[in-house]
Amino acid sequence: MSNNLLWIILAAIAVIIVWLVLVYNGLIRSKNRTDESWSDIDVQLKRRYDLIPNLIETVKGYAAHEQGTLQKVIEARNAAMSQSGHDASKAQAENALSDTLKSIFALSESYPDLKANQNFLKLQDELSDTENKIQAARRFYNGNVRDFNTMIQVFPNNAINGLLKFKQYDFFEAAAGEKENVQVKF
């Protein structure tokens, strides 16, 4: 009987080891997917950073006395580019940049020649497309964050996580101004 007991104990230990390896590998896969999805956001943000100087130069010729607006966009772009990692400060800087870009598009309403300029229209379309891709990448990232955070919080994974010390990721959230109702005035 002691030989059978030894086999049972060894089998139980083997099952526990396999289970630990599976949980660990699942956590690593989920963490890597989350990091990859953040990288997807970075790719789209880089594209936006590259488009903004071209947009500013196009607008400068038409709206020379709107330098304050243009300067705010440049400052917001530089602030967003200087943030690294994927935390709340990066999200806040990106949201501020999105808000200032809206002011550029509002300028086009005041300048009919600018609104008709092919370079401006092309840049506006590219930037709008990039903004849509950024939003899709943020949704994908937030989905991966949700999945990863859930994985490290559920039992029995949370016991394993206590030993491994995986940290929760922050969601990419909308800025306070983006949560308010849009005011439509005629």
CATH value at residue 125: 1.20.1440.20
Q: Residue 184 domain-assigned?
A: no
Q: Residue 177 domain-assigned?
A: no
- Indicate if the alpha-carbon torsion angle 110, 113, 116, 119 is positive or negative: negative
Q: Residue 180 domain-assigned?
A: no
pLDDT at 92: 79
pLDDT at 186: 28
Q: Residue 182 domain-assigned?
A: no
Which tokens go with 107? 């300028």
pLDDT at 30: 92
Q: Residue 139 domain-assigned?
A: yes
Q: What is the 3-state secondary structure (H, E, C) of the chain?
A: CHHHHHHHHHHHHHHHHHHHHHHHHHHHHHHHHHHHHHHHHHHHHHHHHHHHHHHHHHHHHHCHHHHHHHHHHHHHHHHHHHCCCCCHHHHHHHHHHHHHHHHHHHHHHHCHHHHHCHHHHHHHHHHHHHHHHHHHHHHHHHHHHHHHHHHHHCCCHHHHHHHHCCCCCCCCCCCHHHHCCCCCCC
Stretches where the chain sits below pLDDT 50 are: 178-179, 181-186
pLDDT at 87: 66
User: What is the phi/psi pair of residue 4, to 5°?
Assistant: -65, -40
- As for how many domains the chain has, the answer is 1
Are 176 and 160 in contact, with CB atoms under 8 Å apart? Answer: no
What's at 167, amino acid-wise? K
Q: Residue 67 domain-assigned?
A: yes
Q: Residue 185 domain-assigned?
A: no
Q: How far is CA 157 from each of CA 17, 102, 154, rounded to the nearest angstrom?
A: 14, 44, 6
Domain range for residue 64?
Answer: 2-146+155-165
What's at 174, amino acid-wise? A
Q: Residue 174 domain-assigned?
A: no
